[in-house]
Every structure is written in structure tokens, then in C-alpha cells.
A and B are shown apart, each in its own frame.
Chain A
Amino acid sequence: MYGWIFRHLPGPLWARILIAIVLIVAVVLLLMQYVFPAFVEYSPFTETSTIE
């Protein structure tokens, strides 16, 4: 799957490596900014500090 994506990126090797890095960074940022904050509300690992 990742091999297939990498082979289908355009340009010479150095350009494909660069694009791959940009894609990875974009995915990581997307996860940290939007996915994790949304997920954490349903996660069993969320810490609550209150007495209730």
C-alpha cells in the first residue's frame, strides 16, 4: 500500500521523498489538531480529576 503510493508519486526520487515527508507531517498534524481532540472524549484513557 505504502509502496504503491510511493511509486505513484510524481517526480524524481528526491522529490518523492520530499512529498512523502510532507504527506506524513500533514497526516500527523491532522490527527493532533482534529482527530485526537475529538477522540479523547470517548477514550477510556481520559483522566478525570474530580470528585463526583
Chain B
Amino acid sequence: MSNTAQHGSVATKGARSASRRSPLQWIIQIFGELLITVGLILLLFVAWQLWWTNIAANSAQDDTVQSLSQEFKDAAGSSADAATDGVGNGAESSDGTSGENADSSAQNTDASNPPVAAGAPGEGEAYGIVYIPRLGENYQRPIAEGTSTEVLDTLGLGHYEDTAEPGEIGNFSLAGHRQTNGAVLDNIDQLQEGDKIYVRTREGYYTYSVYKHEIVLPTQVEVIAPNPDNPGAAPTERIMTLTSCHPRYGDTERYIVHAKMESFQPQSAGAPAEIAGAVN
């Protein structure tokens, strides 16, 4: 067979006879190289998704947390100045709720009647920071409005539009990735009953305490209902809910953590002791 003869000559003469390969050999060679290329690209894609997206998202989220934190501090500083002048309410109010906020900021740690956070100015806007000491001494992630892929991929925790705001009676619900794009809730399964979740907004620090977790199907919307413990009933408590993927590298189910609001303190009172080290 001529193929065998040619093969023999390839083996003996080495690279110089590469040009003498038959068209079929070329096709097979190129096809094989393409297959190897596809394999390498798929591996690179996995590395990109599980590793690179985290680096990119973490740095974007750090920047957001820093600028929000600065903004909150500035706002607290100016409202404290205004309060000493005795015109606290006028200074920062562009709408009715800020006036109430300034009123209740005067009372420290009022859990029964905290101000309701004003919320985000628009979809995709960051407006708060979540601190969860159980997930790391320095765990801080921004909250942004909306749960679109774009928000969750870049800004971390997305607030389900239509759910309550921090401090509001109802269910303040956030979604976050378990893996990829910052993996903001990677260790959500480590949260235990009694763990604190601190939500910091322009108004102040809302402290929530974890009381329950559950694993549900993605379609079980009742977990973010205003009253998740009794869906359908009117809300009576200030609940917070975190939703993320389950299992860890999949998304066939959702891992849900519910927390209840415990206390509130205004920006001017400073950070709660447990997260004082993380807040800057």
C-alpha cells in the first residue's frame, strides 16, 4: 500500500517530508489539532468562569463598597452637623421619608420602629452593604437593586424588586451567586441560627439574626413572599432572606436563609461592635 510506504518515509526522513503528506493525512492532522484546541478552550472557559470572574467581580465589588462607605460617612457627618444646628430634618430631606429617618436617628437602637431604608434610586444601583461575620471577619458585599444577571454578575447581592426594603415590615430579599462572579454566598450553608447579618444603608445599621434555612426548588417563590413563614398571610415582621444556588456547583435547587430584624442604629452611632473592624 502506498500509505504504508509514505508512512515509512515520514518516519525516516522526519520533518522534511511533512509537505509530502497526502491531503487525507493533512485533513486528519488539522482535525485532530482542532479537537485539541477545542478541549483547551473548554478548559480555559472553566478556569475563566470559576476563577477569573471571581477576581474581576471581587475587585469591582470592593470598589463599590469603598465608595458607598465613604458616601455613608459623608452623609452621616453632614446630618450630624445639621442636627447640632437644630435643622436636622431640613438638611437631607428631598422627600418625606428622610424627615422621618432623621427623627428616628435621634433614638438609638430602636428595633420596634426603625426607619425604612429609602432604597435604590434605580435598577442596578448599589445602595447598601451587607456584613456577615460568619462568612469572614472582613466579609462585606454591596447590595444593588434588581436580580438581573448583570447586577448579580458585577455587584454581588441583588435586591428582589418588589420585596421590602431594610427595616420595613415584610421580606427584604437578596440573591447572590454561590460560585463565579465573586461567589458572594459561597459559604451560605455555614450560617447558623443566631448568626448576625448586618445591613448598612444611608440610614444606618440594621441587624438581622438568622433563624432558619431551607433548601427549595427554584420555583418556590414563597420563600421571598412578604411573610415567608406563612405565605399568603399579611407580613407582621421584619424578615430578611438570602437566596443562592444549591448544590455548590449546580443550580438545580436554592439555598435559602431567613433572618429576623433585631435592632437598628443610625450611622452616627457608629458600627455595631461585631463588625467595627470590617467597617471603614
Question: Which residues on A are within 8 Å of B, measured CB to CB?
Answer: 1-3, 28, 31-32, 36, 39-41, 45-52
Contacts and interface: CB of A to CB of B under 8 A. Distances in A.
A2 to B, nearest CB: 6
Contact of B243 (A45, A46, A47, A50): A50
A49 B254 contact: yes
Contacts of B41: 31
Contacts of A3: 18
B33 A47 contact: no
A40 B185 CA distance: 20
B175 interface: yes
A32 B179 contact: no
Contact of A50 (B34, B49, B147, B179): B147
Given A31-B44, A32-B48, A32-B52, A49 B244 contact: yes
23 contacts: A1-B30, A1-B33, A31-B41, A32-B44, A41-B149, A45-B49, A47-B177, A47-B245, A47-B250, A48-B149, A49-B152, A49-B175, A49-B243, A49-B244, A49-B254, A50-B160, A50-B175, A50-B243, A51-B218, A51-B219, A51-B220, A51-B243, A52-B219
Closest 7 CB pairs of A and B: A50-B175, A1-B33, A50-B147, A49-B175, A1-B30, A49-B244, A47-B251
Interface of B: 18, 29-30, 33-34, 41, 44-45, 48-49, 52, 147, 149, 152, 158, 160, 175-180, 185, 216, 218-221, 223-224, 243-245, 250-251, 254
Contacts of A49: 152, 175-178, 185, 243-245, 251, 254
B218 A48 contact: yes
Contact of A51 (B33, B49, B176, B223): B223
A36 to B, nearest CB: 5
B253 to A, nearest CB: 11
Given A31-B44, A36-B49, A47-B177, A52 B251 contact: no
Contact of B224 (A40, A46, A51): A51
A39 B45 CA distance: 10
Contacts of A48: 149, 218, 245, 251
A48 B272 CA distance: 32
B44 A47 contact: no
A50 B243 CA distance: 6
Given A47-B251, A49-B178, A50-B218, 18 more contacts: A1-B29, A1-B34, A2-B33, A31-B44, A32-B44, A36-B48, A36-B49, A41-B149, A45-B49, A47-B245, A48-B149, A49-B152, A49-B177, A49-B244, A49-B254, A50-B243, A51-B216, A52-B221
A49 B186 CA distance: 11
B222 to A, nearest CB: 9
A46 B176 CA distance: 13
B57 to A, nearest CB: 12
